[in-house]
Amino acid sequence: MPRRALTAASVDRIKPPAKGQVEHFDKGFPGLALRISYGGGKSFVYFYRIGGRLRRMTLGTYPALSLADARDNWRKARQAVAIGLDPASATRHGAGATDFQSVCAEWLLRDQAKNRSHDSVKRSIDKDVMPVWGHRQVADIGRRDVLDLMDRIADRGATIMARRTHAYVHRFFKWCVGRGIIEINPAADLPKPGAETRRDRVLTDEELVAVWRGSEKLGWSHGHVIRLLLLTGARREEIGQLRWSEIVNDEIKLEGERTKNRQPHIIPLSSPALALLEQVPRISASDFIFTISGWRAAAGWAVAKSRLDEIAHLAPWHIHDLRRTVATGMQKLGVSLQVVEAVLGHVSGSRAGIVGIYQRHSYDVEKRAALEAWGTHVMALLDGRP
């Protein structure tokens, strides 16, 4: 299994084997290889795993497909694998296909691959849409079909899911119009089912203490994540998938690919937050902070939240309510709205529109002071001090 950094010249020069075939793997492009048969034929192939099974996909033959183009095809195929799609199947059925299953696979790859919510979009499509439309031609799906689908989801009491599925389907058909697959978006101007409830749950001081104490009993690693969420006001995945390499000079430095708004975000770490991180065990050779296996971040949030509810005995609440609680708590401490939004990494609100264009102050000093004050407040609540 030769491995080398392929170049256009080396691809042309590599000699065929005396018998059979051999793959020369392209160093720096995992799974990409130049396959050469004893007869002199050359092709680029991609080895990957789907569902734990090793698969091989032929990207094209050389010289019709150049090394540069092979690497471009490899990137697209690898992107598909990253979101759980089989690139060989997408290529076989997606290009030129007009059935919903094939076109949807292509849409997920081309339009949703870089979307942070692509996993939830795919789950929703697979659960509620694919069983109904998977076998149908996209052009045959009309407004009545979209309404029936939304009603079916809403009728089982999942109004919020019906509204979100409506948004996914609308975007899918809009993409299809742009690609020339259909002429009219059947979901355009359709009313959304029901009304999505706007959440405004903020934990009281007593509930905050109960969540903190409950998270201590919850143990590793979800308990530590919960407490760091309470100290930072960050989003669950920002902390749950936190890496040691993202801790720089007493700050969490997140690149745009790790934030919801795709903007880099710095979260200063207060004294209590730093003390919490000092208690975290470090797994050798793993960059993940909150991990058990070492190769993946904390998962299984539904089970962990259920266990925490059994311990803390709170009125119904969500993990995201911690973020709202931190924001509200800092405002009660006298922190300005602009600084609170900077702590949360918001680009809307007071930083939206033309203000956001001309107001480039990062509030780094103010953010650190705000989170330090909030951390002191939380510690005082835990100690029973005013």
Place of tokens 């950094």: 5
DSSP per-residue codes, 116-157: TTHHHHHHHIIIIIHHHHTTSBGGG--HHHHHHHHHHHHHTT
Q: Give pLDDT tens digits for 287-325.
A: 999 998 888 888 888 899 999 999 999 988 999 999 999
Q: How far is CA 199 from the centre of its chain?
A: 22
If you average pLDDT over every residue of the chain, what do you get?
87
User: Which has the minimum average pLDDT: 79-83, 130-134, 365-369?
Assistant: 79-83
State pLDDT tens for residues 19-75: 888 899 998 899 999 999 887 888 899 999 887 788 888 888 888 888 998 998 898
Parallel/antiparallel/unpaired status of strands 3-4 and 21-26: parallel
Nearest to 46 by CA among 37, 36, 59: 59
pLDDT the model gives residue 200: 83
Residue 105 has pLDDT above 50, yes or no: yes
Per-residue pLDDT tens digits for 244-274: 999 999 999 999 888 888 889 999 999 999 9
Question: pLDDT grade, residue 113 (50/70/90)?
Answer: confident
Q: Is 285 left (phi over 0), alpha (psi -120 to 50) or beta?
A: left
Ordered DSSP codes for 287-307: -BSS-SSSSS----HHHHHHH
In this predicted structure, what is the pLDDT of residue 346?
83
Task: Tell me what pLDDT residue 115 has.
Answer: 75
In this prediction, residue 302 carries a pLDDT of 86
pLDDT interval class at 280 (50, 70, 90): very high
Check whether 348 has a pLDDT greater than 80. no
Cis, peptide link before residue 221, omega less than 30° from 0: yes
Look at residue 95 and tell me whether its pLDDT is greater than 70: no
Q: What is the rounded average pLDDT of the residues 143-170?
A: 90
Residue 353, pLDDT above cutoff 50: no
Q: What pLDDT is stored for residue 195 in this prediction?
A: 62
Domains and CATH numbers, the chain: 3-68 (3.30.160.390), 93-178 (1.10.150.130), 205-383 (1.10.443.10)
